[in-house]
A and B are shown apart, each in its own frame.
Chain A
């Protein structure tokens, strides 16, 4: 049995890292907003999904123009990423303005409810637009970076099987890492990043220090949503087919990743995302094997939630978070 697990390990690692990178960047959006507003932005998964659709639309649009065929794929990707991220970033800012800001002093239940509502609205608006233009809300984008590479894991040791990867795997992983490094730099080294951390620590004191809290919150939403949208594009490139409902469960899992890493903690979200991706892929490849066929891969979502519950019970502050006591 161990042998079989090992054989599939290279492929599990490759798939797990890809998925983990997606979780990690989406988790950043949750963790940043939570850190600053103590709000679970349920709609973030839908921002990610909108990013996937907007990105795909851009790809189709640009590649439909004859001359665009000359553009190298990589440049094209960068252009689409930037355009999409800007749009979803603005969507995020608008969302905060309309749905969360008026409720900042409301009971905590209320903004959660608007968040769910917004999430539904986004899903349905995207469904509607996709259906209108495409005839079907399940959309398949142009295939990019689709050359297959074989990772010769068996040449390292014969206990491994080879792993097969699409070039897009490297792109997804590479871009995700660049995004994460850039964000880490922004938060820790720039003026606005410092302001952001200050607001997260203590909103009132920060505003007394003449930090424009509303602006900081808007920036947080912009960055979080831009990252989410960009990840949506990467997702579309990697997996090809998208529908308006991909964001919900994926968003939940990204949130789980954020909790796993320590909510409010940016590096924690990255770590949590990667770990969750790897664990999930491992589970879906091996659950059936390990449980003698009782549980199959269809339980992989159950697995993610089980992780969430275990973390909340045994280490509620997450892997990299610090325990806090509520001031009374």
Chain B
């Protein structure tokens, strides 16, 4: 079943066309990768899906309904969550609080409940805390729960971003270079986690990644962007042998 449908999506920044006429679909439950050389427009693509940038033209449909024009928080409420290429944690907050922020939209309490510390607020908060802790355990960050996010290692920060994104209980999770800056061991572990995650959290993953080994290993579908255009699409085997893709990568300086 199709979960995300993108139709001739275009984004221009002044004279620069960062995304041009991109059309693609994402199947529910399958891991999709978006790859391409530096500056190809991958992050811009994510930014449009999550409402951070408004497309110049084109349409984006989640479960058949257009989400163009929604603000990022509204998109998040529709069930799309993401991580960021340049990590954007809540640095001064603790690790577990970061995850709790991810649960924001699922907490139903209100001002009165908070001020009077009503029983339903207490209960909801307590179960949210437990749930957040379980997520931390899943990413092996539980021993760091009271640490400030800023004090975490790079790899741990990347994992925390994923945990926080999952806390929003998304249908669709966009990971922007989740393995960037990780060492080989961390990357291997992450690969495993991403593979498992889809089923265990019932979420469809789209990821941007420069680490080809990781991409080829976990993706079921790959979309290649170059200079803002989609130049190829297919399963890992097809992409590996596609001459256009090889040219795009060899033709540019960015071979990873």
Contacts and interface: CB of A to CB of B under 8 A. Distances in A.
Interface residues of B, number: 6
B84 interface: yes
A324 to B, nearest CB: 9
A325 B51 CA distance: 13
Contacts of B13: 325
Interface string B37-55: 0000001000100001100
Contacts of A325: 13, 53
Interface in B5-30: 13
Interface string A248-277: 000000000000000000000000000000
Contacts of A328: 43, 47, 52-53, 84
Nearest to B72: A328
Interface residues of A, number: 2
Nearest to A323: B14
Contacts of B84: 328
A325 B84 CA distance: 17
A328 B53 CA distance: 9
Nearest to B50: A328
A317 to B, nearest CB: 13
A325 B43 CA distance: 14
Nearest to B46: A328
Interface string A305-328: 000000000000000000001001
Nearest to A322: B14
A325 to B, nearest CB: 7
B175 to A, nearest CB: 15
Interface in A278-328: 325, 328
Interface in B29-84: 43, 47, 52-53, 84
Nearest to B91: A107
A325 B44 CA distance: 12
A328 B49 CA distance: 13
Nearest to B176: A328
A325 B13 CA distance: 9
Contacts of B43: 328
Contacts of B52: 328
Nearest to B44: A328
A186 to B, nearest CB: 27
A204 to B, nearest CB: 13
A325 B47 CA distance: 12
Nearest to B86: A328
B49 to A, nearest CB: 12
A325 B53 CA distance: 8
- Give the 7 A-B CB pairs with smallest separation, nearest first: A328-B52, A328-B47, A325-B53, A325-B13, A328-B84, A328-B43, A328-B53
7 contacts: A325-B13, A325-B53, A328-B43, A328-B47, A328-B52, A328-B53, A328-B84
Interface of B: 13, 43, 47, 52-53, 84
